[in-house]
């Protein structure tokens, strides 16, 4: 009995100590819950963020749960673990795949620290993806002959892109073109060479029936069809090669007939300025005969010189006799 009385206070003390330890170990309030919980949603990408919880000498992890409107109404607040966002060590997580419809979603996060867990902290306001912030798409332009090629920022399968383009100095007539993917460059047709064109674009998200603002216009000069120009140059050179010798030959012939008679014209055949009279002198007959033979092939001059030759010949004959 005495022994039991002696041990009792110790047992009580140990019991109280263990109670305290277990109370501390299981009290969630020891670990502060995450604060400043929000969803940042840009271009249909939804990321939940919160202020990091600092515990000295410990690496904490975070875990997220989601609750859709359907579950909340029909299943009385059923939260689901987000497997991609379970026991993560960074203070943000991409929850895009959890948000599948235009309804309210609630999200919550807690801190795990060893065996301790904080309470959950949920969003102040449930999140609806129709509030996503849509940015104007980035675009860059290139030309390929008569085409303008537009490279668009690829924002994923939810996005259509509406392109508007116009002649820079004629901005009342605006063409438009809608494409449903940005992975391949867009070709704009019906543009003219040697013109400045401007292009702007906006995105359209069918799932939420909303459009982004327009990007600021980007302009480019369309220089013309380079390949066409090359063909023109090619054919130009080809024609030159084929025709030039012919032309050169013709010209040389013309020059020959223009200058030859005067140069070799013997003294007996002198063409006056009027070209209708021949002054002939009495020289030897051989020279005159040669001159006449040279000009025979030029039809225009045939008659002219033949007349001269005859007169010249007759006169030289006369001189011989
Ligand atoms: C955690 O939640 C419980 C029950 O909802 C609450 O009693 C306790 O005060 C909360 N702890 C903190 C730190 O908010
Ligand atoms: C929450 O955000 C406010 C303002 O951004 C900041 O002053 C505060 O320190 C943040 N809370 C925590 C726990 O980081
Ligand atoms: C915390 O993480 C770092 C790097 O991941 C590791 O080196 C360190 O040992 C961890 N500390 C604790 C207390 O787990
Ligand atoms: C929802 O839960 C509350 C208590 O948490 C309970 O009173 C209520 O009956 C439940 N409703 C349904 C539909 O399960
Ligand atoms: C969430 O994950 C934890 C740990 O893996 C598990 O104990 C819990 O039952 C899960 N909750 C749901 C609703 O799946
Ligand atoms: C796009 O152009 C077509 C005609 O080519 C026109 O009917 C349509 O209204 C235009 N769309 C916009 C958004 O300007």
Per CATH, 31-131 and 139-224 having the same topology is answered yes
Q: What average pLDDT does the chain have?
A: 78
154-166 as b/e: b if 16+ CB within 10 A: ebeebbbbbbbbb
Query: For the chain, what are the domain ranges?
Result: 1-26, 31-131, 139-224, 227-262, 267-320
* pLDDT score, position 137: 96
Counting residues of the chain whose pLDDT is more than 70, the rounded percentage is 65
Q: How confident is the model at residue 257 (pLDDT cuts 50, 70, 90)?
A: low
* Sign of the alpha-carbon dihedral angle for 249, 250, 255, 261: positive
pLDDT of residue 192: 79
H/E segment holding residue 175: strand 170-179
Contacts of 217 (CB under 8 A, 6+ apart): 198, 199, 200
Q: What average pLDDT score do residues 87-92 get?
A: 96
| DSSP character string of 25-39 | HH-GGGSPPPEEEEE
pLDDT confidence of residue 288: 45
Predicted local confidence at residue 313, as pLDDT = 52
Instruction: Read off the pLDDT band of 296 (50, 70, 90).
Output: very low
The answer to whether residue 156 scores a pLDDT higher than 90 is yes
Element (H, E) at 105: strand 105-113
Q: What is the pLDDT of residue 277?
A: 44
pLDDT bucket at 186, cuts 50 / 70 / 90: very high
74-83, 123-132, 206-215, range with the lowest pLDDT: 74-83
Question: How sure is the predictor about 228, in pLDDT bands with cuts at 50, 70 and 90?
Answer: low
Q: In the structure, what pLDDT confidence band is assigned to residue 243 with cuts at 50, 70 and 90?
A: confident
pLDDT digits (tens, 9 = 90+) for 19-31: 544 544 444 447 8
Strands 278-279, 218-222: pairing is unpaired
What's residue 96's pLDDT?
96
81 lines ligand 5 (CB under 6 A): yes
Average pLDDT over residues 205-231: 84
Q: What is the pLDDT of residue 65?
A: 97
Grade residue 293 by pLDDT with cuts at 50, 70 and 90: very low
CA–CA dist 217, 197 (Å, integer): 10
Give domain 139-224's CATH architecture. Answer: Sandwich (2.60)
- Is pLDDT larger for residue 208 or for residue 272? 208
pTM given for the model: 0.65
80 touches ligand 5 (CB under 6 Å):
yes
CB 165 within 8 A of CB 189: no
- The answer to whether residue 292 scores a pLDDT higher than 50 is no
Distance (angstroms) between ligand 4 centre and the Cα of 118 equals 24
- What distance in angstroms lies between residue 71's CA and the mean position of ligand 5's atoms? 16
Rounded distance, CA 90 to CA 82, Å? 15
- pLDDT range class, residue 194, cuts 50, 70, 90: confident
Closest residue CA from atom 13 of ligand 1: 29
Residue 305: predicted pLDDT: 47
Most confident of 12-16, 43-47, 141-145, 256-260: 43-47
**How does residue 301 score in pLDDT terms, banded at 50, 70 and 90?**
very low
With a 6 Å cutoff on the Cβ, whether 253 touches ligand 5 is no
Mean pLDDT of 282-299: 46
Reading the block at residue 120, the tokens are 């959950």
Pick the CATH number of 31-131 from 2.60.40.1730, 3.40.50.300, 3.40.50.720, 2.60.40.10: 2.60.40.10
Which of the two residues, 265 and 44, has the higher pLDDT score? 44
Query: To which residue do tokens 């795949």 refer?
Result: 97
If you take atom 10 of ligand 5, which residue's CA is the nearest one? 81
pLDDT at 240: 74
**Residue 316's pLDDT band (boundaries 50, 70, 90)?**
low
- For a pocket test of ligand 5, which of 62, 75, 81 has the largest count of ligand atoms closer than 8 A to its C-beta? 81
Decide: 67 and 32 in contact? Cβ < 8 Å: no
């Amino acid at each position: 009995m005495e022994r039991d009385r002696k041990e009792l206070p110790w047992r009580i003390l140990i019991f109280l100590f263990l109670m305290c330890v277990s109370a501390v170990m299981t009290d969630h309030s020891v670990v502060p819950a995450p604060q400043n919980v929000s969803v940042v949603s840009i271009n249909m990408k939804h990321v939940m963020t919160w202020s990091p919880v600092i515990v000295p000498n410990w690496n904490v992890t975070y875990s997220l749960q989601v609750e859709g409107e359907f579950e909340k109404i029909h299943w009385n607040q059923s939260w689901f673990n987000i497997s991609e966002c379970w026991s993560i060590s960074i203070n943000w997580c991409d929850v895009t795949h959890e948000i599948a419809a235009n309804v309210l979603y609630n999200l919550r996060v807690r801190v795990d620290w060893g065996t301790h867990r904080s309470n959950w902290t949920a969003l102040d306001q449930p999140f609806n993806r129709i509030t996503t912030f849509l940015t104007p798409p980035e675009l860059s332009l290139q030309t390929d002959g008569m085409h303008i090629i537009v490279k668009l920022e690829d924002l994923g399968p939810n996005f259509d892109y509406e392109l508007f383009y116009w002649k820079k100095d004629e901005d009342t007539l605006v063409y438009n073109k809608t494409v449903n993917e940005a992975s391949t460059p867009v070709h704009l047709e019906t543009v003219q060479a040697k013109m400045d064109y401007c292009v702007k674009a906006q995105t359209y998200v069918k799932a939420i029936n909303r459009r982004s603002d327009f990007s600021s216009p980007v302009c480019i000069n369309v220089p013309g069809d380079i390949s066409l120009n090359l063909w023109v140059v090619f054919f130009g050179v080809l024609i030159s090669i084929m025709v030039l010798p012919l032309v050169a030959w013709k010209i040389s012939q013309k020059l020959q007939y223009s200058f030859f008679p005067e140069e070799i014209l013997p003294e007996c055949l002198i063409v006056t300025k009027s070209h209708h009279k021949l002054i002939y002198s009495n020289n030897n007959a051989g020279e005159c005969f040669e001159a006449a033979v040279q000009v025979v092939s030029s039809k225009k001059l045939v008659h002219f010189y033949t007349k001269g030759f005859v007169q010249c010949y007759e006169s030289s004959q006369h001189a011989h006799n």
